[in-house]
Chain A
Amino acid sequence: MYEIWLTLNILFELSLQYLPAVIGSLTLWLVLMTIAAARGGAAWRKALGPAIAIGIVVTAITFFVTPGMTQSSFANMGYWVDWGNLFLYAAAFGAVGAALAWPIVAMRRRT
């Protein structure tokens, strides 16, 4: 459990390092959600599938570009812990991509 607490603190300190990006992403998501909700007729349920698909694409892209962006390469993947962490990191970005895509797709597929 201590490791979870430590991880949360690391994420918090990281978010402080990248505060403009964090605030920008959060603001953008809130704006998109507000617009989609205010316009009415947003197809939230129908948009889930495409949003998840976009999230998967973002995950895949992040998965492949991250080693290079961290001054490493796939050649340095030693064991499953490396692959697992890389996947989780990529999936986190994929989740952000899906969250941003959801209101946009929902607006485009209004009922």
Chain B
Amino acid sequence: MKDLLKRSPDRPAIDPERRRLLLGASALPVAAGLGLGLHPHEAQAALKTSARIVIAGSGLAGLAAANRLARELDGAKITIVDRKEIHNYQPGYTLVATGVWPVGKVSDRNVDLIPPGVEWVREMVAEFDPEKNAVVTDGGRPIQYDFLIVATGLHMDFALIEGMDVAAIGRNGLASVYPSPQAAQATWQAMDAFRQKGGKALMTLPTTPLKCAGAPLKMTFMVVDRLVQAGTREKSQVSFHSALDNVFSVPRVNQEVLERWKKLDVPVHFLSKLVAVDIGARRATFASPEGERTGHDYDFIHVVPPMRAPDSVKNSPLSWKAGPFAAGGWLEVDKETLRHRRFPNVFGIGDINGTAKGKTAATVKKSTPLVVQNLIDVIAGREPTQRFDGYTSCPLLVREGAALLIEFDYENRLIPSLPAIDPLQDSYFAWVMKIRLLKPAYMAVAKGRV
């Protein structure tokens, strides 16, 4: 791979953290004065290389990586493979699904976010062949690469819930925030209709790793709040069925949420997995680990699908073949460098990674600069220098007008970005962050600036 590199011999080695700090500081007065979108790395000479880099996926991770690589490499051939034309701001789905945002706020055009000079193949990767350094698209087109970034996102396995029909979301009290903006909007329609009359709500959580694992909790808090606002809480029951023995993987947050739900009269049924739903009859079936099935009628149900890697990754040599991430077919990356453990020219970012934490936009925000730097290190013939701590963030809506701003790492430590922030304190600031400030931050991430 070293022959791909034509590097200036006198280019100084600068610690990336220090570089980021210095460039941020130097840009501050200019940006503050002019409000211009500056690129913190523009002053740095781009690394000359003829490397062919393929990025599978044009979600937040793929776009952020493409923008950074396009800026930091000179001469690289960067190709994004993804069919989707519309870029959806998925962290906004819970706001749409709870009636806080109109659906139009979560969709942007992908073409506006793909940097110039990057080839965009409007097909999906159907097959990864890392032994041959190639991917094959669903249109049958083979694309060779020197380096690969896997940022495909994940697959929602609604098919594992018997009787589930995504197209029926919004009717008969059926809700799910996850599949799409339209599903989020339909979920709000179902929730709005439910809160007018009240009744029995079932909230669910599967066993698998989830994107935005806080979303099922947010939906629960918000359905309670909407019932209170409508004056129908007294005649309603809201219960939570977790297929696990907790509702959130961070013990301190789990405890906090359970205490709050106890006060809100939301009973939790542990080890109770949603396995079937009869949409017309409004009846859900849950199973215990022993296989015992129990039926529950409902007026409103929030379905959270099991999630796994897309087939293209799951069935490829890139997926974990043993261990806790093998069943889902998640990408086998080192949890710190996010480099593939067996194919050193492959990196992963975002939901697809088989790591213990990190299927949120905040994870992408923190990990993409590290992965890009590690990839540049590898292109330059060095070992990866950056280490990811598993940073994840979840602005957890607790009612309309307040949220908790929870940030944590692989070790389940609560790590607020600013020391003043109390992660377990109901906060107006966290609410404003969620509804007003996080999308602008997200857009800056997608453009590779932060």
Contact = CB atoms under 8 A, between A and B. Distances in A.
Contact of B35 (A12, A17, A67, A77): A12
Interface in A1-38: 1-6, 8-15, 17, 22
Contact of A78 (B27, B400, B402, B450): B402
Nearest to B449: A9
A8 to B, nearest CB: 4
A81 B449 CA distance: 27
Given A8-B32, A12-B36, A12-B444, A75 B418 contact: no
A14 to B, nearest CB: 5
Interface string B19-57: 011011101100110011100100000000000000000
B195 to A, nearest CB: 16
Given A72-B400, A76-B426, A78-B428, A4 B25 contact: yes
B428 A77 contact: yes
Contacts of B426: 76, 78
Given A12-B37, A76-B426, A79-B422, A71 B435 contact: yes
B59 to A, nearest CB: 18
B440 A14 contact: yes
A60 interface: no
Contacts of A86: 428-429
B104 interface: no
Contacts of A9: 37, 440-441, 444, 449-450
Interface residues of B, number: 40
Interface residues of A, number: 31
Residue among A5, A71, A73, A85 with the most chain B CB within 10 A?
A: A5
Contacts of B230: none
B324 interface: no
B436 interface: yes
Contacts of A15: 35
A6 B441 contact: yes
Given A3-B417, A9-B449, A11-B35, A70 B435 contact: yes
A4 B444 CA distance: 13
B441 A71 contact: no
Interface string B345-389: 000000000000000000000000000000000000000000000
Interface of A: 1-6, 8-15, 17, 22, 67, 70-73, 75-82, 85-86
Interface of B: 20-21, 23-25, 27-28, 31-32, 35-37, 40, 100, 399-402, 417-418, 420-422, 425-429, 431-432, 435-437, 439-441, 443-444, 449-450
Given A4-B25, A75-B401, 6 more contacts: A1-B24, A2-B20, A11-B440, A70-B432, A70-B435, A85-B429
15 contacts: A1-B20, A1-B21, A1-B25, A4-B25, A11-B440, A12-B35, A14-B440, A70-B432, A71-B431, A72-B402, A72-B431, A73-B401, A76-B402, A80-B420, A81-B420
